A and B are shown apart, each in its own frame.
Chain A
Amino acid sequence: MLEAENLETGYGPMQILWGITIKAEKQSITTIIGPNGAGKTTILRAIMGMIQPWNGKITYDGDDVTMLPPHKKVERGLSMVLEGRHLFGGMTVKENLILGAYTKQARERLDDSLEIVYTLFPILKERSTQKAGTLSGGQQQMLAIARALMTRPKLIMLDEPSQGLAPIVVEQVMDTLKKLREELEITILLVEQNVLVSYHTADYTYIIENGQVVKEGEPSECIDIQEIRKAYLGV
């Protein structure tokens, strides 16, 4: 579905990614984990086209999309939920969703999309006239995902959707992601700092350090749960 090969990029003169190769199989949940500053967000931004890759190749659905600007990628069914949600806080939930369906093909299917996201997130329907900025953290994250769904994506990239959420809410978000995969057949590429969440959700995991993939595989293979317990909990 999506493949980045030998991706290299950075900001200004500073190189962040040093030849990243990752793959997201159709209808799977792939996670990218790693410490702060490893380059996780940069991978997503480069794939989306928000920063230009210096080297390497990005293929999506069999096509080379390396140099396509973000809006062209959205048209092809790629979408992204930005870190920190980036909602239009002063607008209502519904207005956020309607703006989400900006592209032509999304606009044509607006009513249908609204129904899908309202079924998926009943709370958003209840709160549809409420200002997005007044929602709780979990609801805001739901709205951010819902807004990304309004573009009718085939693949969604999420940048740390669990950030700042209570564990129980994180679980809800992850359940939603699984639902997206099963019910809407959406491929998911997830950047996470929360290793345990990733462990329980992902089909495949990449561990990134200093802009390079240091380990990859199914979560049970590449994440040593004992080691994490030790590192995080000291037991």
Chain B
Amino acid sequence: MKKYIQPLLPVLTLYIVLLGAGLSIPGLWQPIAFIMFYVVLGQALNMFLGMTGYVDFGYVAFLGLGAYGMALAFSLFTDDGLGSGIIVVGFLMAVIFSILLSMAVGAIALRLRGAYFAIATIGVSEGFKYLIEGARLWGGSEGIIISSQLRDSFGSEMANYLSTFASDILIFAIGILAAILTVYTLHTRAGYALMALREDEDAAKVMGVNVTKYKVMAFGMSAVFAGLIGASAWTLKLTYVFPEDVFNIIYTVEAIVIVMLGGAGTLAGPVVGGLIYGILRYYLATVLPGFQLLVVAPLLVLIVTVFPDGVVGYIKRKLKGSRFSKYVI
């Protein structure tokens, strides 16, 4: 048990500090919710990119489908008298959508390796955007707006609370869940298998690792978390879903930067990466409006030159052998 708790301590402490600061300091809730989105996004992608070393350029499609899952739940079932259960249905649909997509993409693209996988996945999110817009699926380019359904289901006060506060709390919850699952995975045979397959897939095979199984598992898990994030950080929070927003490739790129910046395959990595990136992005938007996205390019250059293993990878190496090493994995 101790080996699970120790590395979780710094991460959970950070969450509590962020939560406490957001709740007690006026005006800080919005920026913290903004930053937490990036932290959790990094954690979700890390489950796949960090664990397997495969880069999915269509990753945002899982968030997008999660967002649509939640939105469709509201637009289809609001009149069925589910009450607050509709949110559960929404999350369920988000999860099912992202699992289905991960299986479809995985069955084809996970047979490819390295750069070929990355290239094959680029089309996924763009494809969905144009499919929804072109085929006028799910409202087409007009998207789905659920603010009136939210009011009908919960009353306007509760609906307001849901989108301005509860959806952010859900993001915290998803982050905690992701952290626990990551620690657990890292300490099981699955963790060893993933480590071996990330380092050298052929070597892993001849050691007896069922590489297909673990790749599919990591991909599915990562997709589910992305779906949950899309459902709460986008649909519940913003109360609308537009295809060009939720399938925007920039989120994929940001997620990759966060994972690499923090340290791929580590527990604390995406948390630290998301924190740094989120803070930079938020405050650059106020200091240098319009230029905030430019931060991605120099950051990437910085990562590959100075911190090839990410910030946490660097710290981990420095702590190796010391008594703090158990806290940073």
Chain A residues proximal to chain B, CB less than 8 Å = 48, 50, 69-71, 74-75, 79-82, 86-88, 90-91, 99-100, 102-103, 106, 147-148, 150-151
Contacts and interface: CB of A to CB of B under 8 A. Distances in A.
Contact of A82 (B192, B203, B212): B203
B207 A151 contact: yes
Interface residues of B, number: 17
Contacts of B328: none
B185 to A, nearest CB: 15
B193 interface: yes
A183 to B, nearest CB: 22
Contacts of B189: 102
Interface stretch (B36-44, B139-147, B194-202): B194-202
Interface string B235-275: 00000000000000000000000000000000000000000
B208 A86 contact: no
Q: Ordered nearest first, which 4 A-B pairs have the shortest CB separation?
A: A74-B208, A86-B203, A103-B208, A80-B206
8 contacts: A70-B206, A71-B210, A75-B208, A81-B206, A87-B200, A88-B203, A99-B192, A102-B207
B196 A50 contact: no
A48 B209 CA distance: 13
Given A69-B210, A70-B208, A71-B210, A99 B195 contact: yes
A165 B59 CA distance: 44
Contact of B202 (A69, A86, A106): A86
A81 B202 CA distance: 10
B3 interface: no
Contacts of A151: 207-208
A147 B202 CA distance: 13
A71 B203 contact: no
Contacts of B196: 88, 99, 102
B212 to A, nearest CB: 8
B205 interface: yes
Contact of A79 (B193, B206, B209): B206
Given A50-B202, A147-B207, 11 more contacts: A50-B205, A50-B206, A71-B209, A74-B208, A81-B206, A82-B202, A99-B195, A102-B207, A102-B208, A103-B208, A151-B207
B205 A70 contact: yes
A35 to B, nearest CB: 23
Indicate the member of B208, B210, B212 with the most A CB atoms within 10 Å: B208
B205 to A, nearest CB: 4
